[in-house]
Amino acid sequence: MFHSTDSYGVTADSECSRCDRLLDLNGYHVIRVEGDGSGHLIVEIESSRSSPGCPGCGVVTLSHGRREHRLVDCPCFGRPVELVWRKHTWKCMEDTCPVRLITEQDDNIAQPRGLLSTWAMWWAARQLRWENASVAGLARQLGTAWATVNTAIMGLLVGLDRDPSRFAGVEVLGVDEHLWHHMNPARRGPREFTGMVDLTRDKNGRTHARLLDLVPGRSGKAYSTWLQAHDPEFIKGVKIAALDPFRGYKNAIDDHLDDARAVLDAFHVTKLGYQALDQVRCRVQHTTLGHRGRKKDPLYKIRRVLVTGIERLSERQWERLIQGLEHGDPDSEVTIAWQCAGQLRDAYHNKNLNAGLRQALRLVRILPTCPIPEIARLGRTLKQWKQEYLAYWTTNRTTNGGTEAINNLIELHRRIARGFTNPHHYRLRMLLIGGAFNHPQLNYPHRK
Ligand SMILES: [Zn+2]
């Protein structure tokens, strides 16, 4: 029985089962749907709750009319929605009772004095987490201000951050640092953040890298402080700690994760090999020709080919490589360095773990004795880190690669957000995007 009052045909005293189904909220009815003339939809809802007993004295209360709570809700059919929640209010009839007025509360609809409805907040959080959304874009879709959306999201994320359950079951821990801004640290805070990443494998042996935490500052000190702040249960659970060859992290691991195996990251070790090769190339270039690399110099011409994996070289590149070495490398120093860097890389690519380990052991033994100073230095570094270097093969290929993937994600989202000015917001947003929070509402399907 609808009494038509506007183009939507629903008046304030009627219920509509179709609208209720669209809203899909148990115990609530849509009592009015209206356009506001600017493209927004106004949806008014009310619960079918009956008078509760007074929380102060237990006496039955009397209805005392409604109080409107206006909320920003999820867009409906592409239009921004203002949800008008007509909250019941009740009055206690007992004269001596200190409770006067009771206002209906329901966290499923909204927090007291909330600006966004509860499901609009989760919707926005999922948009940020999975859909590469920006707060500015969400504000446009919700038909509200940036600050309104941001305040709501931050409130949600602060709550999620307090939940320690994300630290449970972490067996493989990665660490890395990144630069988050290039501004004056006195104005914007520290330039670097250190990220801790969960690299634990699932039962199929796959790693789903998950950002666990992000702390301002860099190096071993930030890592140490973070580890210190965690309970012994967490520390005891960490069996493997992946790291790039940086002393500070190693000290933090030795001091606080003494039960964990430290593993040097394959990517960084391979990079060290190619860095040594590049140093040899520059030195030989300079000794043979007396100047830094120029366009027509044989070694300069092959600087890129030298760092390309053998299996990816085309026939033409092979030719250029051989020619360049023939003309620019009289004492075969570059050739030997090239072979060493290649072997360092090959050991990681060996499909057989034991064979790879043997290759690696051989490199630790022979590289320090190499007459080429840059390669000998690389060999000494490997020898110094022998346990951590070999641990790659003895821990079934632990890599810090997931950490790099998280760093790429962070970089992408920094661009989407066009930068952050507040380190606190930055940290929480990156934790959301990096998968730190595992609340069921952050996954699809949503509602209820
Ligand atoms: Zn009472």
Q: How far is the CA of 96 from the centre of ligand 1 (A)?
A: 8
Mean pLDDT of the chain: 89
Contacts of 332 (CB under 8 A, 6+ apart): 325
Torsion of CA 122, 448, 28, 43, to 10 degrees: 30
Ligand 1 centroid to residue 63 C-alpha, Å: 13
pLDDT score of 15: 78
Q: How far is the CA of 69 from the centre of ligand 1 (A)?
A: 24
Distance 61 CA to ligand 1 centre (A): 8
DSSP string, 104-118: --BTTTB-TT-SB-H
**Alpha helices per DSSP H over 329-421:** 333-349, 353-366, 373-384, 386-394, 401-416
In the prediction, which pLDDT does 6 show? 44
Residue 85 Cα to ligand 1 midpoint, Å, equals 25
What is the distance in A from the centroid of ligand 1 to the CA of 112? Answer: 21
CATH no., domain 165-262+400-438? 3.30.420
Mean pLDDT of 365-387: 95
Q: Strand, coil or helix: what is 130?
A: helix
**Higher-pLDDT residue of 329, 180:** 329
Q: Please tell me the least confidently modeled range out of 201-210, 334-343, 374-383, 437-446.
A: 437-446
Can you list the alpha helix ranges (DSSP code H) found in 219-332?
219-228, 232-237, 247-256, 266-289, 298-301, 303-306, 315-328
How remote is the CA of residue 66 from the centroid of ligand 1, in Å? 19
Q: How many angstroms is it from 89 CA to the middle of ligand 1?
A: 13
Q: What's the 48 CA to ligand 1 centre distance in angstroms?
A: 22
What's the rounded Cα separation, in Å, for the pair 290 and 295?
15
What residue ranges do the domains of the chain occupy?
A: 1-111, 165-262+400-438, 266-394
The type of residue at 344 is L
User: How much distance in Å is there from the Cα of 102 to the middle of ligand 1?
Assistant: 9
pLDDT above 60 (res 373): yes
Return contacts of 352-358, CB within 8 angstroms, 24+ apart: 353/393, 353/396, 353/397, 354/393, 356/393, 357/390, 357/393, 357/394
Q: How far is the CA of 62 from the centre of ligand 1 (A)?
A: 11
What is each CA distance from 121 to 107, 116, 126, 440, in whole angstroms? 12, 6, 9, 14
CB-side neighbour CA atoms (13 Å) of 124:
32
Percent share of the chain, pLDDT over 70? 96
CA dihedral 282, 286, 292, 296 (to 10 degrees): -90
Tell me if the bond preceding 55 is cis, omega within 30° of 0. no
pLDDT tens digits for range 191-219? 888 999 999 998 888 888 999 999 988 77
> Taking residues 27-43, what's their average pLDDT?
93
Checking if the pLDDT of 4 tops 70, the result is no
94 C-alpha vs ligand 1 centroid, how far in Å?
Answer: 6
| pLDDT at residue 259 in the model | 86
For ligand 1, the distance from its centroid to the CA atom of residue 67, given in whole angstroms, is: 20
Residue 244: the pLDDT is 80
Q: From the CA of 90, how far away is ligand 1's center (Å)?
A: 10
State residue 9's pLDDT score. 45
Would you say residue 83 has pLDDT above 70?
yes
Contacts for 138-145: CB closer than 8 Å, 24+ residues apart = 141/75, 141/80, 142/72, 142/73, 142/74, 142/75, 142/80, 142/116, 143/39, 143/40, 143/72, 143/75, 143/80, 143/81, 143/82, 144/72, 144/80, 144/115
pLDDT of residue 402: 87
pLDDT above 80 for 188? no
142: pLDDT strictly greater than 60: yes
Residue pair 286/299 in contact by the 8 Å Cβ criterion: no
- Residue 5 confidence (pLDDT): 42
What would the pLDDT profile of 160-186 be if each residue is shown by its tens digit?
999 999 999 999 999 888 777 777 777
Asked whether residue 283 carries a pLDDT value surpassing 50, the answer given is yes
The CA distance from 236 to 410, in Å, is 29
Taking the centre of ligand 1 as the mean of its atom positions, its distance from the CA of residue 87, in whole angstroms, is 19
By percentage, how much of the chain surpasses pLDDT 90?
Answer: 62
First to last CA, the chain: 29
**Does the pLDDT of residue 445 top 80, yes or no?**
no
Mean pLDDT is lowest, of 1-5, 188-192, 336-340, for 1-5
pTM of the model: 0.83
Residue 421's pLDDT band, with cuts at 50, 70 and 90, is confident
Question: How far apart are the CA of 244 and the centre of ligand 1, in A?
Answer: 64
What are the tens digits of pLDDT across the range 10-30? Answer: 444 567 889 999 988 889 999
Residue with tokens 């790693």: 207
Cα 125 from chain centroid (whole Å): 13
d(CA 161, CA 215) in angstroms, rounded, equals 13
Q: What is the pLDDT of residue 289?
A: 87
Give distance in angstroms: CA of 57 to centre of ligand 1: 4
CA of 52 to the centre of ligand 1 (A): 10
Q: Which two tokens stand for residue 412?
A: 């992408």
Residue 310 has pLDDT above 60, yes or no: yes
